[in-house]
Amino acid sequence: MAVKKITFNPFQENTYLIYDDSKECVIIDPGCYEPHEKEALKAFMDSEGLRPVRLLNTHCHIDHVLGNAFVSGTWDLDLEIHKDDWVTLKSVSNYCHLYGFDAYELSPEPKRFLEAGDVISFGNTQLDVVFVPGHAPGHVAFVNHKDNYVINGDVLFNGSIGRTDLPGGDIRILEKSIREVMYALPDSYTVYCGHGPETTIGDEKRGNAFFRA
- Give CA torsion, residues 82, 148, 173, 31, to 10 deg: -50
DSSP readout, 143-204? EETTTTEEE-TTSEETTEE----STT--HHHHHHHIIIIITTS-TT-EEE-SBS--EEHHHH
Residue 122 in any domain: the answer is yes
Q: Identify whether the C-beta of residue 47 lies closer than 8 Å to the C-beta of residue 54.
A: no
Residue 18: beta bridge partners? Answer: 3, 26
Range of the domain at 143: 2-207
User: Amino acid identity of 154?
Assistant: D
203: exposed, middle or buried (Cβ count in 10 Å: 0-12, 13-18, 19+): middle
SS3 118: coil
Q: How many domains does the chain have?
A: 1
Please report the pLDDT score of residue 1 as a whole number: 86
Residue 136 in any domain: the answer is yes
Q: Which of these, 67, 84, 65, lies nearest to 169 by C-alpha position?
A: 84
Please report the pLDDT score of residue 3 as a whole number: 98
Please report the pLDDT score of residue 12 as a whole number: 98
Residue 212 in any domain: the answer is no
Distance CA 81, CA 55 (A): 9
Residue 213 in any domain: the answer is no
Residue 99 in any domain: the answer is yes
Residue 147 in any domain: the answer is yes
Q: Which residues of the chain have pLDDT under 50?
A: none
Q: Identify whether the C-beta of residue 4 lies closer than 8 Å to the C-beta of residue 17.
A: yes
Residue 97 in any domain: the answer is yes
Q: What is the CATH number of the domain that holds 37?
A: 3.60.15.10
pTM over 0.85: yes
